[in-house]
Each structure stands twice: as structure tokens, then as C-alpha cells.
């Protein structure tokens, strides 16, 4: 990593872009001082999340998006999520309190019941974005909002990845991988001095994850590129939301959560439908799902729940 980090961004184009984003992040924290003043959370108004008539993303989420703009992977969210946060602003304020609670670990913050608000519990991406923005000065978070991406980067830059996460929850796994990647960052004097956002941009530009979509031309014509979220990625988010609901209700364990997610990524569409059918049966019943289920080939039944 040292060789690539030394040669990275010699003309400081990325540094300038990141500094601009950090200024937006500073603006966010000044306007919404939730970390410094818990009482200010009560002053959060619905229109700051999402405006209606006409529909428009509120200032709070616009600032979050702006502060993460340099990242090459998608950090935007469906506006329906913002609308849902407005509709359930009481629940959202409670989740914000959990996000800024210094007594809670990163894992506890990620594992908080974000699924109470439609769309927030799918893959925890927006939850992790919020957690980063209100904890970035602690040196314990990174703006990488995917466990799969964290694993990928660790395999590329860490000397010897340690520990098993087989029985971890989603949040515990996220905390574990984040800590390992931060250890790799701090192992070099050069990258130790980089802020978390600049380091994450370096990783995405230098070691792009294999699931990154080919970039398309930016309509602004400035020569930059943007990424596109595929239908499969959207379907995976919905599937992860279903798994989160099952885990919250105690129907599956953290290990089963990861096994089902891994199984889904390697299946054909018809087999995915069968898996979703089984899990929805489990979600709506107190007993094991009906074994008289649709059949598809090939299909391997996961371990019994």
C-alpha cells in the first residue's frame, strides 16, 4: 500500500475535493450539533428531513450526501427513505440518539433498530452514513458502508487479516472490519496522517471492489464519472431488509443472516424467489415454514432453522 499511497493524488485534485466535502460535513455538524448537545435532537423539524408540496430532500440529508460526494461508490439513497424518516420522525430521533451515544459501541449503533423506518434497515447504508458523519472525529469510523467492501479492502492492504466473524451480527462484523482497516491505515506514517474520508477515497480509487459498476459519463460534461446502482443491487437491499426483520424478531441468528445473504448472491433468479418465499413464510409464522414449497432446480436447501 505504501507505494500506491506515495504516488496517489500528486496534483492534489482529490485532496481539494475532499476538503470541500469536509467543509460541508463541518456545516452539517454546526447546524445539527447532536453529538455535543443531545437536546438539540428534539429541535429537528420534519422539513429538515424531507419537504412536501413539492417533494424535496431536506437540508439534513442534503448535507450528508454532500459530505460524502467524493466517494466513487453510490452514497445516494431513495427519496422514499427520507420521506419515511419524516413520517416517523420520533423513531428517527431515537435512532439519532443511539448514533451519537458515546456509551455505545460502533456495533451497537449499527445494530440499532433502523428497520423500524422503511428502507433504513435494508443494508444499513444510510444508517452507517449518519453514524460516520456524527462520529468521524473519534477515529473509529470510516466512510465505507458495506461489509463486503471492507473485507475487500482488508484483503488488499492488511498484512494478515485476523479473527473470524462467523457468529457476529451485522454491526459486530462492521465494527471488526472497520477496526482492522483502521489498523492498516495507521500502520504507515503517510496514511496515518490522512483523514478517514481521504483514505476511503484512496481505497476506492486504487482498489475498486469487484462489484463496482462500470462508470458512465457525468451529464455535467466535466469529465468525471458516476456509478449506477443495478437492479440486482436493489433486489439485494430488499432481501437484506427481510433478513434484518427476521433477525430482529429472533427467527434467524447472525450466522444464518450471513449464510442466507451469501446463498442469495450465488443463486439464479428462480432459486432466489424460492428462498425469499421460504423466509417470508418464516417471518409470518411462529413455527417452521411450510415444507410444501415451490421447487426450482438447482436449489440447495440451507441448514434447518
Q: Is 259 inside any structural domain?
A: yes
Domain end marker among 165, 186, 217 = 217
Q: Is 294 inside any structural domain?
A: no
Greater confidence (264 vs 44) lies with: 44
Q: Is 289 inside any structural domain?
A: no
Burial of 205 (0-12, 13-18, 19+ CB in 10 A): middle
| pLDDT, tens only, 11-24 | 889 999 999 999 99
Residue 68 sits in the same domain as residue 170: yes
Which residue do the cell numbers 496514511 mark? 191
Half-sphere exposure of 148 (CA within 13 A, CB side): 15
Q: Is 293 inside any structural domain?
A: no
Contacts of 187 (CB under 8 A, 6+ apart): 159
Q: Is the pLDDT of residue 134 over 60?
A: yes
Greater confidence (285 vs 90) lies with: 90
**DSSP per residue over 37-65, as a string?**
-GGGGGG--HHHHEETTTTEE-HHHHHHH
Q: Is the pLDDT of residue 120 over 50?
A: yes
Question: pLDDT band at residue 88, thresholds of 50, 70 and 90?
Answer: very high
Q: Is 164 inside any structural domain?
A: yes
Residue 209 sits in the same domain as residue 241: no
Q: At CA 8, angle to CA 204 and CA 201, rounded to 5?
A: 25
Residue 147 sits in the same domain as residue 258: no
Residue 203 sits in the same domain as residue 237: no
Residue 132 sits in the same domain as residue 181: yes
What is the residue range of 78's domain?
Answer: 2-217
User: Tell me, what's the pLDDT at 74?
Assistant: 56
Residue 213 sits in the same domain as residue 249: no
Q: For residue 173, give Cα distances in angstroms to 90, 145, 146, 255.
A: 28, 12, 10, 11
For the chain, the domain total comes to: 2
Residue 119 sits in the same domain as residue 160: yes
Residue 133 sits in the same domain as residue 276: no
Domain end marker among 190, 217, 244 = 217
Question: pLDDT band at residue 228, thresholds of 50, 70 and 90?
Answer: very low
Report CA 222 to chain centroid distance, whole Å: 28
User: Tell me, what's the pLDDT at 11?
Assistant: 87
Amino acid at each position: 500500500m505504501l507505494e500506491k499511497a506515495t504516488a496517489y493524488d500528486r496534483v492534489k485534485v482529490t485532496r481539494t475535493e475532499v476538503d470541500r466535502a469536509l467543509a460541508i460535513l463541518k456545516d452539517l455538524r454546526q447546524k445539527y450539533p447532536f453529538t455535543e448537545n443531545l437536546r438539540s435532537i428534539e429541535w429537528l423539524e420534519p422539513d429538515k428531513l424531507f419537504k412536501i408540496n413539492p417533494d424535496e430532500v431536506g437540508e439534513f440529508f442534503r448535507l450528508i450526501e454532500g459530505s460524502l460526494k467524493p466517494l466513487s461508490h453510490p452514497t445516494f439513497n431513495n427519496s422514499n427513505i427520507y420521506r419515511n424518516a419524516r413520517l416517523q420522525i420520533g423513531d428517527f430521533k431515537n435512532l439519532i440518539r443511539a448514533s451519537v451515544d458515546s456509551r455505545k459501541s460502533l456495533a451497537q449503533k449499527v445494530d440499532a433498530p433502523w428497520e423500524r423506518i422503511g428502507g433504513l434497515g435494508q443494508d444499513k447504508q444510510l444508517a452507517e452514513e449518519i453514524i460516520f458523519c456524527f462520529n468521524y472525529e473519534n477515529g473509529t469510523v470510516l466512510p465505507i458502508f458495506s461489509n463486503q467492501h471492507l473485507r475487500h479492502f482488508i484483503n488488499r492492504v492488511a498484512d494478515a487479516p485476523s479473527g473470524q466473524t462467523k457468529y457476529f451480527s451485522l454491526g459486530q462484523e462492521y465494527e471488526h472490519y472497520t477496526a482492522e482497516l483502521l489498523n492498516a491505515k495507521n500502520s504507515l506514517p503517510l496514511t496515518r496522517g490522512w483523514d478517514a474520508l481521504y483514505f476511503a477515497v484512496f481505497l476506492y480509487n486504487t482498489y475498486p471492489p469487484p462489484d463496482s459498476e462500470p462508470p458512465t459519463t457525468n451529464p455535467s460534461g466535466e469529465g468525471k464519472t458516476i456509478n449506477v446502482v443495478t437492479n440486482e443491487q436493489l433486489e439485494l437491499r430488499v432481501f437484506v431488509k427481510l433478513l434484518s426483520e427476521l433477525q430482529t424478531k429472533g427467527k434467524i441468528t447472525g450466522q444464518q443472516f450471513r449464510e442466507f445473504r451469501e446463498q442469495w448472491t450465488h443463486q439464479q433468479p428462480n432459486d432466489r424467489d424460492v428462498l425469499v418465499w421460504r423466509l417470508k413464510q418464516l417471518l409470518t409464522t411462529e413455527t417452521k415454514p411450510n415444507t410444501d414449497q415451490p421447487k426450482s432446480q438447482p436449489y440447495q436447501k440451507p441448514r434447518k432453522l
